[in-house]
Amino acid sequence: MEISAAELGELLNGEVVGDPSVRVHKLSKIEEGEQGALSFLANPKYEAFAYDTKASILIVNADFEPAKDIASTLIKVDDAYSSFAQIMEQLADRSRKSGVHPTAFVAESANVSEDAYIGPFCYVGEGVEVKAGTQLSAHVTIGDGSLVGKDTLIYAGVHVYHGCQVGDHCIIHAGTVIGSDGFGFVPQPDGRFKKVPQLGTVIIEDHVEIGANVTIDRGTMDATRICEGVKLDNLIQVAHNVEIGAHTVIAAQAGVSGSTKLGKHCMVGGQVGFVGHISIAAGSKINAQSGVAKSIKEPNKSWNGSPAFAFSENLRSKVYFKRLPELVKRIDELEKALAIHQNKK
């Protein structure tokens, strides 16, 4: 990669402030910038580095006004972070391959696009369809009757069980399992648990990204559904019959119990747990380590704690909690004073 400030300005539809002919050939953090590097400033906490960085070009927000001179050429854009991400996406090394590796197994009844790639030691089962541009890394399993859409990237060691669907333009990271059995068992009179067959599927819609070592269980009879644009971090458990609404994001180590439905545009912090058979309103924001024990019906509201309740109320309760030793002491004193008063009667 080598590109000038003028070319970057045109690509990002930004305003170039400084030398338009200066060129860059690599990316860097603003605090580690050096000659020939492209960096960005989006968070005001890092503004101090802008005045000392050696980066040749800085992408900044359009409303950024330097407090003093900056040696770097600036490119002013509407959203510096998004623009830098756009550059990174274009530079990402995702070279497309095509064909089937000699060590891979592809069933005769599978329909694999000539433009797709099946990597070493992959298994593509009976009746599978793999569409154009999709890339399967080493040791990927696509179970019988499954569908993988176009331009989807599946990393090493991912296992998609039978009858599941993965949409277009998805990314699934290493070690993830899609379509494993839901946790369904019926208690028996003798204390044993009898397995309930899990006959449903998993449907993953377009533009979904799933982190490493995620498990998404198949529905009992219907589908577990991950809707368009959902982003799941690493180490997440999604149980059977769950639905995660479009463009919802969930951070690492969260768990969603069976038949729970999350609305669109929710934001879920790390280690959040949801009980089963509840619904979460669109736009809900659940802070890290919260436990959600009942449905949330009011949209676009923040929640915190275990059990989770409204964020503003949670903050007020923490103020009182900090004062708890003082309040207990005052209550003890009042009880002693009351006892003395009653004894004098």
Is 240 tagged catalytic? yes
Q: Which one from 25, 159, 240, 341 is the annotated catalytic residue?
A: 240
Residue 44 DSSP code: G
- Output 233-242 pairs: Cβ under 8 A, ≥24 positions apart: 233/270, 234/173, 235/211, 236/211, 238/214, 239/182, 239/183, 239/276, 240/181, 240/182, 240/183, 240/184, 240/198, 240/200, 241/182, 241/200, 242/217
Report the 3 state secondary structure along 284-326. Answer: CEECCCCEECCCECCCCCEEECCCCEEHHHHHHHHHHHHCHHH
**Residue type at position 91:** L
In 3D space, the residue among 254, 301, 138, 3 whose CA is nearest the CA of residue 242 turns out to be 254
Query: Which residues are identified as catalytic?
Result: 240
